[in-house]
Amino acid sequence: MKVQVCCVALLLSAGAVRADIVDDFESYEIGSAPGGVWQDAAAFISDPTNPAPTVTMISTQDAHGAATRAVQITDALGTSGGIAAEIEHQRVQRFETDLRFDQASDGNYPNWIAAAGFFQVTDQADLITMPQALIYSLNSSRQFRLYVHNADGRGGRTLDVSLGAATWEFDRWYRVVFEVDTELGSFSSTIVDIESGETLIESTRTMANWNAEFGQFDLVSVNDGEYGTNAGTRGNMVSIDNAKYTPAPGTVGVMGCAGLLGMRRRR
């Protein structure tokens, strides 16, 4: 009962302020798709060649060997798979999540095994042509990169840069932290090896001639992409845990409470 009262108070105090998303995914059933605010990435793609569900809940281990539940992008080829949540645009937006790279597609370049960040939903037929800002992991170099598409539709201004020499390994958890200032076009990226605690990347980039019209991000997502001309014979597989979105300092973690209430009901 104490948990429920606390959460109701938080819900009431949120008012018109858009709530944080705080989700450890522990309340969702194994073999299902995560619920709550989460939608399948395929829901934002017209006529997806990889239709929903593109993710499933799995039982696995965290970076320190403890049991945990996580979302896994399933082994499939085609349009992007993953999870997405609709948010309200704010000037400063921050998203962090834990990622583990389980399998890479054998398709040709460019192959994004995972991308975490923001989209501005428009009338484009696919996420990949909407305005966006993402940290992504490239299969060929195993490096982390920053990608920004500051336009709507194919073409237009982009920023695509390496975040440093650090490389990722399969079957290892990384915490990806991404903060954007949508007025200045500033992008701060931090990547931590969770098991060792080592900060692998800490970078801030500002996009020249930034157009804030195409930075009205209203979707947060983790997704993959077999974008090469030859998609290969197997898909990317990535595990996702501990997702946290913060639209501005001091807002209320309603989704975390929703998760607690759901866990309370299941007892």
pLDDT, tens digit, for every residue of 153-200? Answer: 998 999 999 999 999 999 999 999 999 999 999 999 999 999 999 999
Q: Is the dihedral of CA 192, 246, 189, 203 positive or negative?
A: negative
pLDDT, tens digit, for every residue of 238-251? Answer: 999 999 999 865 33
Q: What is the model's pLDDT at position 236?
A: 94
Q: Residue 118 burial by CB count (10 A; 0-12/13-18/19+): exposed, middle or buried?
A: buried
pLDDT band of residue 253 (cuts 50, 70, 90) is very low
What is the 8-class DSSP label of residue 108? Answer: P
Q: What is the model's pLDDT at position 48?
A: 94
pLDDT above 70 covers a percentage of the chain that reads 84
Q: What is the model's pLDDT at position 9?
A: 34
Select the more confidently predicted residue: 19 or 95.
Answer: 95
Q: What is the model's pLDDT at position 17?
A: 36
Residue 155: how many CA atoms within 13 Å on its side-chain side? 0
Q: What is the model's pLDDT at position 250?
A: 39
Q: What is the model's pLDDT at position 261?
A: 38
Mean pLDDT across the chain: 87
CA distances (Å), 151 to each of 122, 172, 212, 221, in order? 11, 34, 10, 18
pLDDT band of residue 252 (cuts 50, 70, 90) is very low
Q: How far apart are CA 65 and CA 82, in angstroms?
A: 24
Q: How far apart are CA 240 and CA 255, in angstroms?
A: 17
* Residue 114 reports pLDDT greater than 80: yes
Comparing 18-22, 25-29, 65-69, 231-235, the range with the smallest average pLDDT is: 18-22
Select the more confidently predicted residue: 198 or 225.
Answer: 198
The DSSP code sequence of 175-230 is EEEEEEETTTTEEEEEEEETTT--EEEEEEEE-TT--GGG----EEEEEEEE-SSS
* Residue 144 reports pLDDT greater than 80: yes
What is the 8-class DSSP label of residue 249? Answer: T
**Any idea where the domains of the chain sit in the sequence?**
18-251
Q: What is the model's pLDDT at position 249?
A: 56
* Residue 130 reports pLDDT greater than 50: yes
Least Cα distance to 118 among 136, 133, 131, 128 occurs for 133
Averaged pLDDT, 64-91: 96
pLDDT, tens digit, for every residue of 199-221? Answer: 999 999 999 999 999 999 999 99
pLDDT above 90 covers a percentage of the chain that reads 76
Fold of 18-251: Jelly Rolls (2.60.120)
* Residue 142 reports pLDDT greater than 60: yes
Q: How far apart are CA 99 and CA 97, in angstroms?
A: 6
